Chain A
Amino acid sequence: MINTFAQIDYLASSGRSPWHHASALGKLLLAGLVVMLAVFTTSWMLLLTLLVTVLTLCLSARLPTRLILAAAAAPFFFSFVFIVATWAGTPYGPFMRMMRPMVASLIAVWLVGTTPYPDLFAPLSRVLPRVVADSLFLTYRAVFALLSRTERLWRALLLRGAVGQGGARRYALMGEAIGTVVLSGFERSQRLYQTMLLRGHSGRICGCRHYLEFTRSDLAVLGVGVWAGAAALLLWRSGVVDI
C-alpha cells in the first residue's frame, strides 16, 4: 500500500479518460448503486455482470493493472476466513462471497482513481459534522508528508542495522522511530494551525464546488447507472443462490 496513495492521487488528478471529467457526485451515486446491488443480490448472474461492468470501468479509466489486481485481491483474506467458517459444501456460497467484495473494492478504486480528493471529500463534508469533515481533509493531506518521512525513517533503520537486532529490541527501536514521527506530526499540526489562522480559517474547510459541475461525461456515468439498474431488473431472479 506504500505507493498506492501517491499513485491513486496522481491518477485522479492527471487522468484524461471521460470518467475523470465526470462530476464527483454522479460517480459517488453510481458507486453507491453498484455497492448496494452487489451487497443485496443473491443472483450470481447479476454479480458476474456487475463484476464485468466494474472491470470495464477500471480498464477504460486506464487504471494500472497492478492497482486493479491489488483492489480485487484486497478483501481476499477476510472473505477467505468467512468462506472457511461458513462453507456448506456447495461452490455457490464461496463464489458469491468472493465476488461481492471484489465488485465493491473495484468500484471504490475506480471512484478514487478518477476523482481528485477535494472533489471526492467535498460532498462527504457536507453531510459530516464539522470536526470530522475537517479531519478528513487534513488527515488525507497529512498522509503524504508522514508517509515519505516514515519511509525514509524505515530505510534508515534498515541501513543502520536496527532491523537486524534481536526480536524485542528490534521492535522497541521501531517504536522509538515512530515516536519521532509522532513528534514531527505534532510540530506539523502546530504549523498547520498557524497557517490556518493566517489564511483566515472560518471554522470549516468546505472543499471546492467542482463536485457539482456536470459535464457531457456525466451522460456516460448515467448510462452505466441505467445499465446496472436494467441488469438488476432483468437478472434479480435469475441464477439465485441460497447462501
Chain B
Amino acid sequence: MSHLHIPDGILPPVLWLVGLLLMLLLTGLSVAATRRTGPQQIAYQSALGGLMLAVMALPVPVAGLHYCMTLAGPIGVLLGWASAVQVSIVVTVILALLGQGGFTVIGLNAVVLTFGAVLARWIYLRLATALGPGRAMAIATAISQLLSSAAWVAILAAAVRLRPAAILNHDVHDMMQFVQLSLLATLLLPSLAAAVAVEALLAYGLGGFLGRVRPDLLPQPAPERLPSSEIPST
C-alpha cells in the first residue's frame, strides 16, 4: 500500500506543502549523515533503488489479480535510514516523471515510502537475533507495511477533513459518510491484507536467502551491553 502514489490535484496544498517540507528536512538529515559516503555506497543504494523500481513493475499474481510489490521494507533493512531516505526520494521522483504519483506530492509520497523503509530496519534489528533473518525481515516488512498503509489512510482522512466545500445537510452528510466509509473499508481492507501477506512472504524468502548466502549484507544487531562484572579484565 505504500506503493500507492498519490497523484497531483487531489490533496489540499497545505498537506503537500507539509510533505515537501518534511522531505527537505529528511534530505538534509540524511545528507549530513552520509557526508563521508563514497561512490561505492551511492552505487549500491542506486542498484537497490533500481531494483525497487524494477520490482514495482512486476505483477505478482494474487487471487486472480496482479499486485505490484514495493520492497520498501527489505530495502530499508539493507540500506539503513539515511540511504533509505535518499532511495525513496529518487524512486518517487522517477515515478512522478513517469506519471505514477504527482510532482506536488513527491514529498508526501517519499515520506510514506521512507517511513516504511526506516521502520522495517528498526524492527528487524530488534528481532534478527531471536528469530533469524528470514522471519525477522518478514515481520519487519509486515509491520512497516501496515503502518505505511495507516499513514496513507491518515493522509486521506486529513485531506477529506481539510476539504473546503461546505456541506449544508448534516443528516445526509452523516449517512453518506457512513456509506462511503463502509464502501472504502470493503474495497481496501482485503487488498491491504493480501498486500501485507505477499510482501511479508517475499521478505521472508529474501531475508532467508541473504542470511544463507551473504549474511554480511544484512545489518547486524548491536551487541548487547554486558554487565560490568562480565567484561573480561585485561
Instruction: Report which A residues bind B (CB closer than 8 A).
Output: 1-2, 4-5, 8, 31-32, 35-36, 38-40, 70-71, 74-75, 77-79, 81-82, 84-89, 93, 96-97, 99-101, 103-106, 108-109, 111-112, 120, 124, 129-132, 134-143, 145-147, 149-151, 154, 163, 168, 171-183, 185-186, 188-190, 192-193, 196-197, 201, 242-243
Residue among B47, B60, B93 making CB contact with A185, cutoff 8 Å: B47
| B58:A97 contact, CB within 8 angstroms | no
Top-8 shortest CB links A-B = A175-B205, A100-B9, A142-B50, A75-B7, A101-B7, A179-B209, A138-B46, A171-B201
A103 smallest CB distance to B (angstroms):
8
Interface, chain B (partner A; CB < 8 A):
4-10, 13, 27, 30-31, 34, 37-40, 42-51, 53-58, 60-61, 68, 71, 74, 78, 86-87, 89-91, 93-94, 96-100, 102-104, 156, 159-160, 163-167, 172-173, 176, 180-181, 183-184, 187-188, 198, 201-210, 213-214, 217
Q: Given A87-B180, A88-B176, A189-B43, are A146 and B54 neighbors across the interface (CB < 8 Å)?
A: yes
In the complex where A93-B165, A129-B31, A243-B165 touch, is A1 in contact with B57 (Cβ < 8 A)? yes
Most buried by B among A141, A176, A190: A176
Q: Tell me which residues across on chain A come within 8 A of B57, comparing CB atoms.
A: 1-2, 4-5, 147
B57's nearest neighbour on chain A, judged by CB, is A1
- Beyond the given A38-B9, A85-B184, A101-B102, could you list 12 further A-B residue pairs with CB under 8 A, ordered by the A residue number? A38-B8, A39-B104, A82-B159, A88-B176, A105-B7, A135-B42, A139-B87, A140-B94, A149-B54, A175-B205, A183-B210, A185-B44
Contact of B205 among A139, A142, A174 (CB under 8 A): A174
CA distance A149 to B188 in the complex (A): 32
Measured between beta carbons, the chain B residues less than 8 angstroms from A1 are 56-57, 68, 98, 100
Q: A181–B57 Cα gap in the complex (Å)?
A: 14
Can you list 25 A-B contacts with CB-CB less than 8 angstroms, sorted by A residue number?
Answer: A4-B98, A31-B103, A75-B7, A78-B4, A82-B156, A85-B156, A100-B8, A100-B9, A112-B97, A129-B31, A136-B94, A138-B47, A143-B94, A146-B50, A150-B54, A171-B198, A171-B202, A176-B205, A178-B51, A182-B217, A183-B210, A186-B214, A189-B46, A193-B39, A242-B165
How many angstroms between the C-alpha atoms of A201 and B160 in the bound complex? 49
* B90, A135: Cβ atoms closer than 8 Å: yes
Bound Cα distance A180, B213 (Å): 9
Q: How far is the CA of A196 from the CA of B96 in the complex (A)?
A: 28
Contact between B206 and A132, CB atoms less than 8 A apart? no
